[in-house]
Amino acid sequence: MARAKAKKENAIIRYLRDTRTELRKVHWPTRQETMRLTQIVLTVTVGMAIFLWLMDVLFSWWLSGVLKSDPWRIGLSVVVLVISVVVGVVSGRRGE
């Protein structure tokens, strides 16, 4: 008696079938949801780009002054450092 071999399903066909099944389960956003979320992403992206640009300009200005031994910019950096330490200590004590 010859035993019939069970035919193996092609892996690619199985993958495509499973993918199609999963995509049917997805909740796709409406056009309004997509537009609103896109606006949020663009707004945050532009806002962060402007913030990072301003930080780059500020740090470049500050560092160039420190490297040129400008006492005003060195003093400003010391003041900012002291304020940062004080804020860190005070906020750390509030968490206790």
pLDDT in tens, 35-90: 999 999 999 999 999 999 999 998 898 889 888 988 988 888 889 889 999 999 99
Residue 65 resides in a domain: yes
94: tokens are 């509030």
- Say if CB 59 and CB 52 are below 8 A apart: no
pTM, to two decimals: 0.57
Residue 8 lies in a domain: no
* Number of domains composing the chain: 1
**Where residue 22 falls among pLDDT bands split at 50, 70, 90?**
very high
Cβ distance 62 to 73 under 8 Å?
yes
Q: Which domain holds residue 94?
A: 54-96
Report how far Cα 50 is from the mean position of its chain's Cα atoms.
15
